[in-house]
Structures are given as structure tokens and as C-alpha cells.
């Protein structure tokens, strides 16, 4: 399995604090069958400003630790970019990273309590430059919980929707669960990501989410999500 959203890299954001807790989280990923992880530490302008060079350096370090500990997972450096309006400039200057090197997919999150008034403009700039923004966990964003039309408009314009596995299996509260279920039913989800931070309250949960989806909609739906994850990793069109 592939995961394209998580905070496995340690010491950079609110993910694992040290190498030991990172290894614990990585072992959990391996246990549930994850083989490829796009690591997406936060890039938040005034909080976690993890530039591409820092992320790449830590990715190499962590890959070496995984290899030394015989954990059979390949990791790829990326970022979860907190929308700030200068995403395109950041990608062009090399400060920001798409999902994998040279990819058109870029993981972007909104603040939890507001959709920026420059969101459409920012997405349009990215679309026009050939990028496809992947919106992280919209089911957890309060204005989208209140009005999913905001998300549907963005999808109509070309954005992709990443729902967090834990939302579907009720780890993020009733509103996230309700909206995740609605998006699933309306076929408005392109990919499931873990957004894993730790093994206690924010684990991977991807296998449980796939089991849930299979019970509700059959195996075909799960195969489609897995295929989309592969396409995003390999920069193919969805
Ligand atoms: Fe995240």
C-alpha cells in the first residue's frame, strides 16, 4: 500500500519527536502493509517552515534508519503546504515540493477554521502552471463541514480531494465522520491518506478505512483508491 500524507519524519513538526518514535510509527506502517510513503511534514509560514532542502536531508537520514532497522519501506520527500498564497512561487524557486520530484500533484491544506479568501486564485495559478492541488482532509475543515459545496466547486475546477483514513473510521469526531461518509457516497474522494503523526491517537488506519470502504461499496472501490494512490505517486493522470 501507498500513503501520500503523513508526518513520519521526526523532529520537524508535530510528528514524532525523535528517531525512536519515528521507527515505532514506521513499524506500524509496515505491519499493516504499507510499502511506499510520501513524507509530508508541515510547511506553515510562521510555524513549521520546513523548506525543501531540510525535508530532503531528513528524508535521506530517515531512509537510512529504516534500512538499518530492516523496515522495508521506501520514502519520498514532500510537504503538506498550509495555504499562504505563494505556492506557485515556492514550487518554482524550489522552496516547496510537489508529491514527488517533478510531479504535478501538490498537497495543500486549509486552516481548520477558515477557507482563505485567496483560495480560488491560488488554485487557479497552480492549475494554469500545470499543477493539480490535492486538498488535504477537507472533511476536517469546519467551513467545508458546514457547506460541502465549497469543496465541490474546487473539485469542479480541478482540485483533488484527499480524505484522511481515520475520519472514515471515526477517529476525528462525528462531523469529520459524517462529511467523510457523504464525500464517499457522492464519489468526491480521489485518494485516502493517513495523516499519521504517532502510534497513540493519530495512527495510519488505512487498512481499517479500506476494510470499511469495502464493506460499504465493495472491493472495486478500494482497488480504485489504491490505483489512484499509485497514479499520484507515479505522476500519472487521474
Ligand atoms: Fe497532515
| C-alpha of residue 67 to centroid of ligand 1, in Å | 24
pLDDT in tens, 142-183: 999 999 999 999 999 999 999 999 999 999 999 999 999 999
pTM > 0.85: yes
Count how many Cα atoms sit within 13 Å of the Cα of residue 222 in the half-sphere of its side chain. 16
Ligand 1 centroid, distance to 64 Cα (angstroms): 23
DSSP code of residue 196 = B
Return the pLDDT at 62. Answer: 98
Whole-angstrom Cα distance, residue 102 to residue 39? 16
Compute the distance from residue 173 Cα to the ligand 1 centre, in Å.
Answer: 16
Note the pLDDT of residue 155: 96
Mean pLDDT of 128-136: 97
- What pLDDT score does 37 carry? 98
**How high is the pLDDT of residue 58?**
98
What's the gap in Å between 98 CA and the centre of ligand 1?
14
**Residue 62 Cα to chain centre, angstroms:** 19
123: helix, strand or coil = helix
Cα 172 to Cα 86: distance, rounded to the nearest angstrom: 30
Whole-number pLDDT of residue 219: 97
pLDDT of 31-75, one tens digit each?
999 999 999 999 999 899 999 999 999 999 999 999 999 999 999
How many helices, marked H, and strands, marked E, lie in the chain? Answer: 10, 10
Contact 183, 217 (CB under 8 A): no
Instruction: Give the DSSP letter string of 82-114.
Output: EP-S-HHHHHHHTSS--SSTT-SEEEEE--TT-
Centre of ligand 1 to C-alpha 29, Å, is 16
φ, ψ for residue 78, nearest 5 deg: -155, -165
Q: 93 pLDDT exceeds 90?
A: yes
pLDDT bin (cut points 50, 70, 90) of residue 141 is very high
Phi and psi dihedrals of 73, rounded to 5?
-135, 135
Architecture of domain 2-233: Alpha-Beta Barrel (3.20)
**Domain definitions of the chain by residue range:** 2-233
The answer, yes or no, to whether residue 104 has pLDDT greater than 90, is: yes
Which grid cell is 42? 508541515
Mean pLDDT of the chain: 97
Alpha carbon of 195 to ligand 1 centroid (Å):
5
The fraction of the chain above a pLDDT of 90, given in percent, is 99
CA 171–ligand 1 middle distance (angstroms): 14
pLDDT for res 46: 87
Q: Which of 9, 15, 25, 29 is nearest to 72 (CA)?
A: 29
Tell me if 128 sits within 8 A of 136, measured CB to CB: no
Distance, in Å, from the CA atom of 10 to the CA atom of 24, rounded to the nearest integer, reads 11
Q: At which residue does the C-alpha cell 524557486 appear?
A: 93
Give residue 40 CA to ligand 1 midpoint distance, Å.
Answer: 7
CA of 7 to the centre of ligand 1 (A): 6
What pLDDT is attached to residue 222?
98
Render pLDDT for 5-15 as a digit per residue (tens, 0 to 9).
999 999 999 99
Nearest to 59 by CA among 70, 48, 69, 67: 67
Amino acid at each position: 500500500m501507498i500513503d501520500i500524507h503523513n508526518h513520519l519524519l521526526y523532529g520537524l513538526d508535530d510528528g514524532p519527536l525523535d528517531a525512536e518514535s519515528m521507527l515505532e510509527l514506521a513499524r506500524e506502517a509496515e505491519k499493516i502493509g504499507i510499502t511506499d510513503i510520501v513524507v509530508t511534514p508541515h510547511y506553515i509560514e510562521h510555524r513549521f517552515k520546513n523548506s525543501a532542502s531540510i525535508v530532503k536531508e531528513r528524508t535521506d537520514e530517515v531512509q537510512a534508519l529504516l534500512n538499518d532497522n530492516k523496515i522495508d519501506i521506501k520514502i519520498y520527500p514532500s510537504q503538506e503546504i498550509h495555504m499562504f498564497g505563494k505556492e506557485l512561487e515556492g514550487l518554482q524557486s524550489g522552496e516547496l515540493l510537489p508529491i514527488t520530484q517533478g510531479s504535478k500533484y501538490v498537497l495543500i491544506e486549509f486552516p481548520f477554521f477558515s477557507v482563505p479568501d485567496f483560495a480560488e486564485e491560488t488554485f487557479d495559478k497552480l492549475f494554469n502552471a500545470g499543477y493539480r492541488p490535492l486538498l488535504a482532509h477537507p472533511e476536517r475543515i469546519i467551513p467545508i463541514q458546514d457547506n460541502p459545496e465549497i469543496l465541490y466547486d474546487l473539485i469542479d475546477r480541478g482540485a483533488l480531494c484527499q480524505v484522511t483514513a481515520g475520519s472514515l473510521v471515526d477517529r476525528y469526531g462525528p462531523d469529520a465522520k459524517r462529511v467523510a461518509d457523504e464525500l464517499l457516497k457522492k464519489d468526491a474522494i480521489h485518494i485516502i491518506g493517513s495523516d499519521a503523526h504517532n502510534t497513540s491517537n493519530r495512527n495510519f488506519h488505512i487498512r481499517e478505512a479500506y476494510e470499511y470502504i469495502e464493506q460499504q461499496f465493495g472491493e472495486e472501490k478500494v482497488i480504485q483508491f489504491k490505483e489512484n494512490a499509485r497514479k499520484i505517486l507515479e505522476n500519472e493522470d487521474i
